[in-house]
């Protein structure tokens, strides 16, 4: 038995049949969505951009809370900051609004560094409250500064809007494809991050921070990187959201209900700590909103009931329940050890055959 074990090697495998099918489905859906400007009407394109924005925002929040253990309720700070950076770069610097999207990501990432270093001094619920306070301070600052429109906000003039494209249909197509590209980029970046050694570190931190530290994981550095990445991505999505709306105010840009509460609801019902969770949660949330929004306050009651039921019956979310029960994964993230019998060198095989022939000859 020991000799057999000595001849067995192991390799780490990410892919299984469910992830192969899942990635094929993602690729097919991506191609179909990329062609949507040719088959969808204007209302459908608007709905799809909202789907992409919520998937991206929820995925970035899930990266923070579900993997790094940073439960923030202040991500609306970066949504609003991204929107204002895009508008001001277009109005003050005369840049094409689309150029303002990566600028918003860079500036938000730089702004996030001192913010997170300050928040790291807080623990648990204090970190969560502190993140909300930072967002609220930003909202109050933009409300008081007349140079950025104060409480009335600012809008993009028609000349700047037309710099994206001359016709309205072309502009909407460009905005739609940019939303799609950002959502796919966020998902791809998260998958690559989780498949790297950073992903192992984040999962170790999530499961047991003390044990992760004792095994040499630099917890503070890993969380700093994740927070900055999430802030930059959130700001870029926020920039695109308000580019599509063509106007921004402090109340809409830094809305905790729109950009944090809804995102947390999506992540919780979809499956926190699962890359697939925000996708499933976004579909459920928008489905409920589209068909129940006319019910007024009853709609909010139903949303609350769905959230409570999900937390009681499936604490890991809908996709978490499915994944645990059936072992499915759309993205190749799980690590499995696959046994590989060790192959003998070719020279050793030839020598063995020669010895056998010699023995038969004798």
pLDDT tens column, 295-351: 877 888 888 888 889 888 888 899 989 888 888 888 887 766 666 666 555 544 444
**Which residues have C-beta within 8 Å of that of residue 277, sequence separation ≥ 6?**
58, 62, 66, 267, 270, 271, 317, 318, 319, 320
Range of the domain at 101: 30-254
Give the count of domains, the chain.
Answer: 2
In a domain, 306, yes or no: yes
In a domain, 2, yes or no: no
Select from 134, 114, 140, 121 the least CA-distant residue to 72: 134
Positions of the chain with pLDDT under 50: 1-4, 347-362
pLDDT at 11: 66
In a domain, 96, yes or no: yes
Give the span between the Cα atoms of 257 and 262, in whole angstroms.
Answer: 6
pLDDT at 169: 92
pLDDT at 127: 94
Residues 134 and 281 in one domain: no
pLDDT at 292: 84
CA angle 254, 256, 261 (to 5 degrees): 145
Residues 168 and 314 in one domain: no
Q: Which two tokens mark 25?
A: 């489905």
Angle of helix 262-270 versus helix 42-62 axis, rounded to 10: 80
Give the span between the Cα atoms of 176 and 171, in whole angstroms.
Answer: 8
Give the span between the Cα atoms of 360 and 362, in whole angstroms.
Answer: 5
In a domain, 43, yes or no: yes
In a domain, 264, yes or no: no
At 273, give phi and psi (nearest 5°).
80, 15
Cα dihedral across residues 76, 80, 85, 90: positive or negative: positive
């Amino acid at each position: 038995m020991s000799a057999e074990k000595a001849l067995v090697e192991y390799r780490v495998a990410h892919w299984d049949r469910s992830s192969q099918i899942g990635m094929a489905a993602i690729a097919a859906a991506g191609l179909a969505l990329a062609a949507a400007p040719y088959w969808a009407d204007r209302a459908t394109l608007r709905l799809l951009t909202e789907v992409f924005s919520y998937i991206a925002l929820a995925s970035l929040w899930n990266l923070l809370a579900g993997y790094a253990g940073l439960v923030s309720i202040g991500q609306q700070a970066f949504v609003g900051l991204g929107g204002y950076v895009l508008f001001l770069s277009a109005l003050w610097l005369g840049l094409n609004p689309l150029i303002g999207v990566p600028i918003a990501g860079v500036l938000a990432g730089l702004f996030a560094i001192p913010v997170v270093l300050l928040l790291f001094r807080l623990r648990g619920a204090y970190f969560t409250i502190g993140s909300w306070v930072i967002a609220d301070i930003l909202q109050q600052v933009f409300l008081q500064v007349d140079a950025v429109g104060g409480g009335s906000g600012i809008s993009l003039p028609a000349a700047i809007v037309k710099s994206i494209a001359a016709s309205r249909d072309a502009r909407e197509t460009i905005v739609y494809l940019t939303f799609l590209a950002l959502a796919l980029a966020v998902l791809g970046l998260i998958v690559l991050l989780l498949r790297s050694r950073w992903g192992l570190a984040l999962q170790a931190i999530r499961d047991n921070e003390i044990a992760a530290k004792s095994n040499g994981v630099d917890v503070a550095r890993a969380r700093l990187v994740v927070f900055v990445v999430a802030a930059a991505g959130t700001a870029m999505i926020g920039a695109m959201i308000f580019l599509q709306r063509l106007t921004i105010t402090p109340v809409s840009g830094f809305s905790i209900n729109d950009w944090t509460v809804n995102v947390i609801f999506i992540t919780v019902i979809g499956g926190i700590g699962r890359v697939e969770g925000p996708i499933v949660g976004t579909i459920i949330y928008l489905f409920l909103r589209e068909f129940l929004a006319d019910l007024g306050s009853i709609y909010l009651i139903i949303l609350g009931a769905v959230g409570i039921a999900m937390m009681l019956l499936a604490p890991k979310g809908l996709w978490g329940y499915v994944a645990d029960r059936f072992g499915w994964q759309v993205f190749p993230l799980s690590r499995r050890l696959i046994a590989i019998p060790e192959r003998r060198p070719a020279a050793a095989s030839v020598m063995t055959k020669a010895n056998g022939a010699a023995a038969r000859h004798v």
